[in-house]
Amino acid sequence: MNPHAGFKTGPVEMFRSLACNRQLIWQMTRREVIGRYRGSLLGLTWSFFSPLIMLVIYTFVFSVVFKARWHAGSDSKAEFALALFIGMIVHGLLAECVNRAPGLILGNVSYVKKVVFPLEVLPWVTMGATLFHTLVSLVVWGGFFILVNLTFNWTAVFLPLILLPLVLMVMGMAWFLASLGVYLRDVGQITGLLTTVLLFVSPVLYPVSNLPERYQAYIYANPLTFFIEQSRAVLMWGRFPDWQGLGIAMIWDCSQRGTDSSGSRRLGRDLPMSSEHELCLDDDIAISLEDVSKSFQIYNVPHDRLKQFVLPRMQRLLGRNPRQYFREFHALRNISFKVGKGETIGVVGRNGSGKSTLLQIICGTLFPTSGLVEINGRIAALLELGSGFNPEFTGRENVYMSAAVLGLGRDEIDSRFDGIAAFADIGDFIEQPVKTYSSGMYIRLAFAVAINVDPDILIIDEALSVGDEAFQRRCFSRLQQIKENGGTIFFVSHAAAMVVEFCDRAILLDGGEQILSGQPKKVVSNYHKLIYAGENRVEALRQELQEGQNVEAVPGTRKTPQRQDSSDNEEGPEIRDFYDVGLVPKSTVKYEQCGADILDPHIEALSGERVNVLTRGRDYDCVYGVNFTDAAFGVRAGCMIKTITGLELGGVLSHPVGQGIEYVERGRMLDVRLRFRCTLLAGVYFFNAGVVGVRDGADVFLHRIVDAMMFRVQPEEDLNVAGVVDFSASTATHDIGFVDDETQE
């Protein structure tokens, strides 16, 4: 399956789309019809009462009030209303679809950008709902006709043949208008006006014979006239259809929707790859990208979009160089890689580096501006959990709807529903409307649906932190099953430890460019080096990584020699401590001063060098000065180490609780040095700094700075420890032989 294959709008493709997505179209059409009346007292029965009431009103107004007759000399009071109602039904079929078409994509943005979704089915859904109401109206009309005339014309069986070319014509218009409506928001206003005009220039409210002969030719030029007249002929007058006219209508529809490649645009999305340039993938390759780039057109004002749509074409016709009314933003540049089946790939990068755009291109929710993309297998994407959920429907109904969007048939959903419900674990709420759910229940149900479709390729965009810890563990267990079953997993995450632990390979993106690809630990290490590099070092570091000069380097290494202390660490000569000017906390909070002021908190190596990139196993000093603006008693100083989430790991105190410097005069300065051994594993950490004194018999902060310092511990290879803290544990395993059955008993 290639989500980038172009969709063509010929009649064959129309019915192929209908056949391939029939389950999805059925589910969405059902939701469309039921959702329109959900919450009302009469519910779906309104679809019956509405046309019935309108038909009664038409009969009274035109037959009793205006005494109108469809044919001169007719004595039937209901004939005019019945003929009028047929015209309204046929016109309504076209007007409903055409008026809604420009807003189909804009009204279903979650399907466009967040779900692997065949957008060409949206007009089919609208057509399905419209045909339902058309059928109900015809049933009401038929019942009224029999009631008035005590007979029914068997030629009504030909009505589907008359409406078929009309449906094809309307579908072609709907696809075109849905695409155009994305670029020109005024299309919706224009179509509403045109369908209203069409009501009066079609023989809906009058027979063609009532017009002067010189105007009748213009009315017959209106294609809707033929379908209205033929519908009346088979329903009211018992005549056979105009077979020649129907044949011409079918040929005209086919000729207007040819299968040339110029029509192969996917609705509401950018230009796809030309199918003639598709890659020929090996069976063991799941994803292939070759020189993929993506740029977005940014317009200063909305009418610049219209200018860009019209004026450059006119300028080319006049032989002038076309002017550009937008500026380009390049989200991705020349991305190339292949992902094998069964591989797990992690993508890391700073915010705005193009990670989500890359995932959307792989899913097919975006098309590349240039380059080739090929996908081999069924994709399930977790780009936004719960996209497409209808809050008015129950959890069960939304499960069936979402699973259909992900490509499952009714039988497959039935067989997996119990597993999905058990995985979500929301109990009886599965039968309640989604609008009653908590945010956690909503996300759990959405994740349960998406992760239980057994995809060949699973795409995840920062969706692995949903629910509580038990649910997260269940999610990772399910991902591990997909991985063990040979599924390909491709995900974006800022959780570096997850990428290192879970992935076979990692890719580093920055500024829309592929900087590095390879072993997860080394890619993540260089990613850390990049995000904490000073602004003046970023470009040089990017260049080094792209040229492959620093791929094997451990973050923190420098080409220039640095002073170091190699005590207590046999790898001292290889891993160097240094000071990274870009590693500055942005979450610092200073408490109000109560007689003391903490100055210049920092970390020093034993050599006296100021550092903030540390190495596990070495000793360092937490250093800061304290200026006393008031005299203080029982003075103690300390520091606390915290994780990036704020978890306090441990601290160092200058004196035990209850002790301290008995008295410090006003104006004195203390130099605080708190030595500690770094037993932390790779990651980013923070220091709090504080000074405590005794006032009125109680310890109070004389001054405190939260997140006063930020430091990073460098990654190391081939460690047999995990987590946050190195406990210096030792391990031993011995082969004690086989255990016989008697010993087990």
Q: pLDDT per residue over 696-728, tens digit each?
A: 888 889 999 988 999 999 888 777 777 888 888
Nearest to 144 by CA among 208, 48, 234: 48
The answer to whether 208 and 225 have CB atoms below 8 angstroms apart is yes
Give φ, ψ of 94 to 5 degrees: -70, -45
- Provide mean pLDDT across the span 79-88: 88
pLDDT the model gives residue 384: 67
Higher confidence at residue 70 or residue 253?
70
Determine what percent of the chain is predicted with pLDDT higher than 90.
26
pLDDT at 6 over 80: no
Q: Write out the two tokens for 230.
A: 């033929």
Residue 109 predicted with pLDDT over 90: no
d(C-alpha 739, C-alpha 743), whole Å? 6
Q: Give the Cα separation of 655 and 253 in Å (integer).
A: 90
Band (pLDDT 50/70/90 cuts) for residue 465 is low
Given this model, what pLDDT does residue 469 score?
A: 58
Residues 6 or more apart whose Cβ sits within 8 Å of residue 477: none
For residue range 396-447, what is the model confidence (pLDDT) as tens digits?
Answer: 988 888 888 777 778 888 888 998 888 888 888 999 988 888 877 887 888 8
d(CA 196, CA 203): 13
**H/E element holding 232?**
helix 223-235
pLDDT band at residue 463 under the 50/70/90 scheme: low
Report the pLDDT value the prediction gives residue 61, as an integer from 0 to 100.
82
pLDDT of residue 530: 78
- Residue 484 has a pLDDT of 81
Q: CA 664 to CA 713: how far, in whole Å?
A: 36
Query: Between 395-405 and 410-424, two packed helices, what is the crossing angle to 10 degrees?
Result: 120
* pLDDT value for 551: 42
CATH 2.70.50.60 domain range(s) in the chain: 565-745
Which two tokens mark 72? 């001169």
Q: What is the pLDDT of residue 550?
A: 40
Q: In this structure, what token pair is assigned to residue 372?
A: 């080739």
With bands split at pLDDT 50, 70 and 90, how would you rate the model's confidence at 10? low
Region of 534 (left: φ > 0; alpha: ψ -120 to 50; beta: rest) is beta
Q: Is the separation of the CB atoms in 348 and 493 below 8 Å?
A: yes
For 32-54, how does the pLDDT look when each residue is reduced to its tens digit (9 = 90+)?
A: 888 887 777 777 788 888 888 88
Residue 273: is its pLDDT beyond 60?
A: no
Is a pLDDT exceeding 70 seen at residue 264?
Answer: no
Compute the distance between CA of residue 367 and CA of residue 277 in angstroms, rounded to an integer: 14
Residue 495 pLDDT:
74
**Residue 386 binned pLDDT confidence (cut-offs 50, 70, 90):** low
Q: How far apart are CA 103 and CA 170, in angstroms?
A: 15
Residue 318: CB atoms within 10 Å:
8
Q: Give the model's confidence band at 235: pLDDT under 50 very low, under 70 low, under 90 confident, else very high.
A: very high
Q: Categorize the per-residue pLDDT at 182 as very low, low, confident or very high, splitting at 50, 70 and 90.
A: confident
Q: Which residue has the higher pLDDT, 43 or 304?
A: 304
Give me the pLDDT at residue 450, please.
Answer: 77
Please count the other Cβ atoms lying within 10 Å of the Cβ belonging to residue 67.
9
- Global model pTM greater than 0.85: no
Q: Among candidates 707, 731, 625, which has minimal Cα distance to 668?
A: 625
The pLDDT assigned to 278 comes to: 42
Q: Which pair of tokens denotes residue 732? A: 């031993």
Q: For residue 151, name the pLDDT band (cuts at 50, 70, 90).
A: confident
pLDDT at 647: 77
Burial class of residue 268, CB neighbours in 10 A (0-12, 13-18, 19+) = buried
Instruction: Specify the DSSP element, H or E, that contains 454.
Output: none
The fraction of the chain above a pLDDT of 70, given in percent, is 85
Q: If you average pLDDT over residues 53-74, what whole number do you get?
A: 76
Q: Which residue did the predictor score with more confidence, 11 or 684? A: 684
* Domain boundaries 565-745, CATH class: mainly beta
Q: Two tokens at 18?
A: 């209908």
Q: How large is the average pLDDT for residues 359-381?
A: 86
Most confident segment among 17-21, 259-263, 408-412: 408-412
pLDDT digits (tens, 9 = 90+) for 87-96: 999 999 999 9
Mean pLDDT of the chain, nearest integer: 81
Contact (CB, 8 A) for 674 and 624: no
Partners of 127 in the beta sheet? none
* pLDDT higher than threshold 50 for residue 274: no
Q: Quick check: 568 pLDDT over 60?
A: no
| Alpha-carbon distance values, 687 to 386, 612, 622, 674, 708 (Å) | 39, 11, 9, 12, 6
Alpha-carbon 230 to chain mean position: 46
- CB within 8 Å of 340: residues ≥ 6 apart: 284, 285, 286, 488
Q: Output the CA angle 153-155-160, nearest 5 degrees.
A: 125
Least confident of 28-37, 539-548, 655-664, 665-674: 539-548
d(CA 256, CA 170): 12
